[in-house]
Chain A
Amino acid sequence: MADFFLHAFALVSSPSVLLLILIGVLFGIIGGSVPGFTVTMAILVVFPFTFAMDPVSGVSLMVSVFVGGYSGGIVSGVMLGIPGTPSSITTVYDGYPMALRGEPGRALGIGVAASFIGTVISVAVLVFFGPLLASFSMNFRPWEISALIIFALTLVAGLSNGALLKGMLAAALGLLITTVGYDRNSNLRFDFDLPVMSSGFEILPVMIGIFAFSQLMDNIEKLREEKTARQEVIPDISIPYGRIIRDIASQKVNTVRSSLIGSLIGALPGTGGTVANFISYDQAKKFSRHPERFGTGIPGGIIASEASNSAVAGGAFVPTLALGIPGDLPMAIMMGVLILHGITPGPLMFEQNPVLVGAIYASLLVGAVVMVLCQLLLVRWFARIALIPQQILVPAVLMLCAIGAYALNNNLFDIWVLFGFGIVGYLLWKAEVPLTPLILGVVLGNNLEQQLFRALDLDDSWLTFLTRPLSATFLVLAVISVIVSLYQNRRIQQKMAINQ
Chain B
Amino acid sequence: MPTITKDRALALAMLIMVAILYVESGNIRPPTSWQTYGSAMFPQILLGVIAILSVLILLRSLFNSKSSQAHERRTAMQWLKKNGVVLTLFALFGLYALVLPVLGYLVSTMAFMVASLALLLGVDTRRKWIINLGVSVTLASLIYVTFHFGLNIWLP
Residues of A within 8 A of B53 (CB): 165, 168-169, 172
In chain A, residues 168-221, which have Cβ atoms closer than 8 Å to a Cβ of chain B? 168-169, 172-173, 175-176, 179, 183-185, 187-190, 192, 213, 217, 220-221
In the complex the two chains form, is B97's CB within 8 Å of A217's CB?
no
Q: Please pick, from A52, A189, A403, the residue contacting B152 in the complex, using a CB distance under 8 A.
A: A52
User: Is A398 on the interface with B (CB-CB < 8 A)?
Assistant: yes
Q: How far is the CA of A190 from the CA of B28 in the complex (A)?
A: 8
Q: How far is the CB of B4 from chain A (nearest CB, A)?
A: 12
Q: How far is the CA of A361 from the CA of B14 in the complex (A)?
A: 43
Residues of B within 8 A of A410 (CB): 153-154
Q: How far is the CB of B2 from chain A (nearest CB, A)?
A: 17
In the complex the two chains form, is B25's CB within 8 Å of A402's CB?
no
Give B35-77 as 1s and 0s: 1 = Cβ < 8 Å from A's Cβ atoms. Answer: 1111110110011011001101100100000110000000000
Please judge, given known A-B contacts A172-B53, A449-B42, whether A190 and B24 are in contact too, CB under 8 Å.
yes
Residues of B within 8 A of A231 (CB): none
User: Is B133 on the interface with A (CB-CB < 8 A)?
Assistant: no
Cβ-Cβ contact count across A and B, 8 Å cutoff: 155
Interface centre among A187, A433, A453 (most CB of B within 10 A): A187
Please judge, given known A-B contacts A179-B46, A190-B21, A416-B97, whether A394 and B116 are in contact too, CB under 8 Å.
yes
Please judge, given known A-B contacts A422-B90, A431-B9, A453-B37, whether A400 and B24 are in contact too, CB under 8 Å.
no
Which chain B residue lies CB-closest to A390?
Answer: B120
User: Is A49 on the interface with B (CB-CB < 8 A)?
Assistant: yes
Residues of B within 8 A of A453 (CB): 37, 42
User: Is A343 on the interface with B (CB-CB < 8 A)?
Assistant: no
In the complex the two chains form, is B93's CB within 8 Å of A422's CB?
yes
The size bracket of the interface on A is: 35 or more
Give B1-17 as 1s and 0s: 1 = Cβ < 8 Å from A's Cβ atoms. Answer: 00000110110001000
In the complex the two chains form, is A456's CB within 8 Å of B97's CB?
no
In the complex the two chains form, is A399's CB within 8 Å of B43's CB?
no
Residues of B within 8 A of A406 (CB): 100, 155-156
Q: Please pick, from B6, B50, B57, B66, the residue contacting A176 in the complex, using a CB distance under 8 A.
A: B50
In the complex the two chains form, is B29's CB within 8 Å of A187's CB?
yes
Q: How far is the CA of A174 from the CA of B14 in the complex (A)?
A: 13
Residues of A within 8 A of B67 (CB): 493
Q: How far is the CB of B6 from chain A (nearest CB, A)?
A: 5
In the complex the two chains form, is B39's CB within 8 Å of A398's CB?
no
User: Is A351 on the interface with B (CB-CB < 8 A)?
Assistant: no
In the complex the two chains form, is A402's CB within 8 Å of B97's CB?
yes
Q: How far is the CB of B67 from chain A (nearest CB, A)?
A: 7
In the complex the two chains form, is A403's CB within 8 Å of B143's CB?
yes
Q: Please pick, from A49, A173, A179, A407, the residue contacting B42 in the complex, using a CB distance under 8 A.
A: A179
Please judge, given known A-B contacts A176-B43, A399-B113, whether A457 and B36 are in contact too, CB under 8 Å.
yes
Q: How far is the CB of A475 from chain B (nearest CB, A)?
A: 15
Interface centre among B29, B117, B120 (most CB of A within 10 A): B120
User: Is B137 on the interface with A (CB-CB < 8 A)?
Assistant: no
User: Is A392 on the interface with B (CB-CB < 8 A)?
Assistant: yes
Residues of A within 8 A of B50 (CB): 169, 172-173, 176
Q: Please pick, from A165, A188, A396, the residue contacting B135 in the complex, using a CB distance under 8 A.
A: A396
User: Is B104 on the interface with A (CB-CB < 8 A)?
Assistant: no
Overall SS of chain B's interface: helix
In the complex the two chains form, is A412's CB within 8 Å of B97's CB?
yes
Q: How far is the CB of B54 from chain A (nearest CB, A)?
A: 7
Q: Please pick, from A49, A220, A412, the residue contacting B85 in the complex, using a CB distance under 8 A.
A: A220
Which chain A residue lies CB-closest to B8?
Answer: A431
In chain A, residues 427-462, which have Cβ atoms closer than 8 Å to a Cβ of chain B? 428, 430-433, 449, 452-453, 456-457, 460
Residues of A within 8 A of B47 (CB): 176
Q: How far is the CB of B151 from chain A (nearest CB, A)?
A: 4
How many chain-B residues does the 8 Å CB contact rule pick out?
Answer: 60
In the complex the two chains form, is B43's CB within 8 Å of A189's CB?
yes
In chain A, residues 376-400, which have Cβ atoms closer than 8 Å to a Cβ of chain B? 389-392, 394-396, 398-400
In the complex the two chains form, is B39's CB within 8 Å of A189's CB?
yes
Q: How far is the CB of B55 from chain A (nearest CB, A)?
A: 10
Q: How far is the CA of A220 from the CA of B88 in the complex (A)?
A: 12
Q: How far is the CA of A92 from the CA of B18 in the complex (A)?
A: 45
In the complex the two chains form, is A166's CB within 8 Å of B120's CB?
no
Which chain A residue lies CB-closest to B43?
Answer: A179
Q: Please pick, from B10, B28, B36, B154, the residue contacting A460 in the complex, using a CB distance under 8 A.
A: B36
In the complex the two chains form, is A165's CB within 8 Å of B56's CB?
yes
Residues of A within 8 A of B7 (CB): 431
In the complex the two chains form, is B113's CB within 8 Å of A217's CB?
no
Q: How far is the CA of A185 from the CA of B36 in the complex (A)?
A: 12
Which chain A residue lies CB-closest to B41?
Answer: A453
User: Is B103 on the interface with A (CB-CB < 8 A)?
Assistant: no
Which chain A residue lies CB-closest to B9?
Answer: A431
- A: which residues have CB within 8 A of B? 48-49, 51-53, 165-166, 168-169, 172-173, 175-176, 179, 183-185, 187-190, 192, 213, 217, 220-221, 223, 389-392, 394-396, 398-400, 402-403, 406-407, 410, 412, 415-416, 419, 422-423, 426, 428, 430-433, 449, 452-453, 456-457, 460, 493, 497
CB<8 Å pairs between A and B, sample of 6: A183-B39, A189-B25, A394-B116, A396-B135, A412-B97, A412-B100
Q: Which 5 A-B pairs have the closest CB atoms?
A: A395-B116, A391-B120, A187-B39, A52-B151, A431-B10
Instruction: List 18 additional contacts besides A176-B46, A185-B29, A410-B154; criterion CB under 8 Å.
Output: A52-B152, A165-B53, A168-B53, A176-B47, A187-B29, A189-B39, A217-B89, A220-B85, A392-B131, A392-B135, A410-B153, A419-B97, A422-B93, A428-B10, A431-B9, A453-B37, A456-B37, A493-B66
